[in-house]
Amino acid sequence: MNLTKDEKLAILRAADELIATGGRNLLSKILKGSREKKVLELELDKSPVYGYFQSETIAAITEKVDWMIEHDFLEIFYSGKLPMIVYTDRGWQIEANQRADEFLLEWDKLIAEDAPIPDMEYLKDRNRHMIFLFLDKIRETGDPKYIPFLEAWEKVDYKKVRAKIRDVIQSITENAPIDLDLVEQREAEIEEALKGEAPQDFRLKCWDCGNRFIFTVGEQNFFKQKGLHLPKRCPKCRERWKFGYL
Ligand SMILES: [Zn+2]
């Protein structure tokens, strides 16, 4: 199985609605477009990718989600006994970029419709990395149409964000040059990240006996889906621990 770029983006986008609040099953239900009570209660039907895989079975969708876990886009984190979906660094790098683009498109739409400036509180308390990326993208357009929105936003956010907003307004106003190499590099990094990391067997060193042992793809998948860390000990030493004769 391999997923297309759009499928990967859709799964990452769906995960954004439930990060650290739900697991694989709930993620699959968003993508299926499930009418289940929990989905509706959490307003997950408002996700732009709700029902993205509606013609597929839940089992087939869960397989795609697991593929994303195996290829280092998402991982499982245990909150108490509950397995939660979280982004890996790779997954978040892609999703932050996708969300920043989405915010910019929303502004474009509002401006094109001549809609009133929204209450900018909605941008507060979001991930700072993503918000700064959004601001960089605004700067890179060099388009003064965004300035009234930026000014409204500047009034409501925190100090560091306000400083960055002022910086972007100034850059646009002064028509400051844009570092296109940097933009290109960022886009190339996203394309690279989108490929994902193919799972492969690798060798680990045992903490007890110091011997190397193979950590297979199958074992890795098991560990990832259970949200476990890398095993510290080789199978032999693990057995010894289990039975308590050391
Ligand atoms: Zn060992």
Distance (Å, whole) CA 100 – CA 220? 32
Distance 200 CA to ligand 1 centre (A): 21
The torsion region of residue 214 among left (phi > 0), alpha (psi -120 to 50) and beta comes to beta
Q: Residue 78 — pLDDT band, cuts 50, 70, 90?
A: confident
Can you tell me the mean pLDDT for 137-151?
Answer: 97
Distance 225 CA to ligand 1 centre (A): 24
Distance 204 CA to ligand 1 centre (A): 10
The per-residue pLDDT for range 80-111, each reduced to its tens digit, is: 778 899 999 999 999 999 999 999 999 999 99
pLDDT at 241 over 90: no
For every residue of 186-244, DSSP letters joined together read HHHHHHHHHH-PPP--EEEE-TTT--EEEE-HHHHHHHHHTT-----S-HHHHHHHHHT
Distance 227 CA to ligand 1 centre (A): 22
pLDDT for res 220: 86
Distance 66 CA to ligand 1 centre (A): 30
Distance 244 CA to ligand 1 centre (A): 14
Distance 210 CA to ligand 1 centre (A): 6
Distance 114 CA to ligand 1 centre (A): 67
Domain with CATH 1.10.10.10 in the chain: 5-87
Q: How does the average pLDDT of the chain come out, rounded?
A: 93
Q: Residue 245 — pLDDT band, cuts 50, 70, 90?
A: low
- Residue 85, H or E segment: strand 82-87
**Token output for 90:** 């790779």
Domain 5-87 has CATH 1.10.287.80: no
The per-residue pLDDT for range 179-235, each reduced to its tens digit, is: 999 999 999 999 999 999 888 898 999 999 999 999 998 888 888 777 787 888 998
Distance 246 CA to ligand 1 centre (A): 12
User: CA–CA distance from 89 to each of 113, 168, 193, 225 (Å)?
Assistant: 36, 27, 10, 17
CB atoms within 10 A of CB 41: 8
pLDDT for res 227: 77
Distance 208 CA to ligand 1 centre (A): 5
